[in-house]
């Protein structure tokens, strides 16, 4: 059955078979690196966005695959993907994360200046690490700890999240409430204030899924 989820899954599997991330696959095909980002797969209001036939044709040409192989990838089971061990993911300091040039227009890490760590968790372009600096995240996270952030994971009330504003501010908070207009955030450290941000102020929100402690 041809479906939105199966087509995107086939693109992800084609990338993995060629030892590429979805962004790397897009680059190899001469497409914008964010073409296959997960943030591009659903539009406002939850409307599904489908990859174009042109983009699919380009990735098939770039990888030497044919349409029959692509269709077969749509039917593969998730566990069929080979285990490549701990995935190297980019890690950067909070101060650098607020600067321009480290994230693409989907809010995900690109370019130079990133170190890498091995993380035996979910793969994808939208998982990265931040190194904690200062005391704003005490008592949960200390200066020098590394936190893993996933922008693919649904954020719910009570989750610990990292938020990057369009002004370049990066903060770690607890999600209290999220609506179409605003996001309420509680501080991890009671010495620091809670925040309410308008949706228009936010570049991205990612859930903290792991921390080195």
pLDDT(194) > 90? yes
Is residue 136 within 8 A of residue 152, CB to CB? The reply is no
User: What is the span of the domain harbouring residue 176?
Assistant: 87-211
What is the tally of structural domains in the chain?
2
Burial 78-114 (b: 16+ CB within 10 A, else e): eeeeeeeeebebbbbebeebbeeebbbebbbbbeeee
| Same domain (yes/no): 44, 134 | no
Q: Largest Cα–Cα distance of the chain, in whole Å?
A: 59
- Do 60 and 115 belong to one domain? no
Please tell me whether the peptide bond between 139 and the residue prior to it is cis, using omega within 30 degrees of 0. yes
Average pLDDT, the chain: 78
Model confidence at 61: pLDDT above 90: yes
Q: Pick from 35-44, 77-86, 121-130 the range whose average pLDDT is largest.
A: 35-44
The SS3 assignment for 14 reads helix
Last residue of a domain, one of 57, 80, 103: 80
Would you state the pLDDT for residue 177?
94
What's the pTM value of the predicted model, to 2 decimals?
0.55
pLDDT at 133: 76
């Amino acid at each position: 059955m041809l479906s939105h989820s199966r087509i995107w899954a086939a693109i992800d599997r084609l990338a993995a078979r060629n030892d590429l991330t979805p962004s790397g696959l897009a680059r190899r095909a001469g497409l914008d690196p964010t073409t296959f980002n997960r943030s591009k797969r659903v539009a406002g209001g939850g409307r599904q966005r489908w990859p174009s036939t042109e983009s699919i044709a380009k990735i098939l040409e770039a990888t030497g695959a044919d349409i029959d192989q692509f269709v077969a990838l749509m039917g593969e089971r998730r566990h069929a993907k080979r285990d490549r061990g701990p995935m190297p993911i980019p890690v950067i300091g909070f101060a650098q994360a607020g600067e321009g040039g480290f994230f693409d227009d989907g809010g995900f890490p690109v370019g130079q200046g990133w170190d890498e760590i091995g993380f035996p968790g979910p793969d994808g372009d939208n998982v990265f690490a931040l190194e904690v600096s200062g005391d704003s995240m005490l008592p949960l996270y200390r200066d020098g700890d590394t936190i893993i952030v996933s922008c693919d994971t649904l954020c719910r009330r009570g989750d610990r999240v990292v938020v990057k504003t369009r002004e370049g501010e990066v903060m770690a908070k607890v999600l209290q409430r999220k609506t179409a207009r605003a996001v309420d955030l509680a501080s991890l450290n009671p010495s620091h204030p809670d925040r309410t941000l308008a949706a228009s102020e936010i570049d991205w929100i990612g859930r903290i899924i792991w921390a080195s402690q």
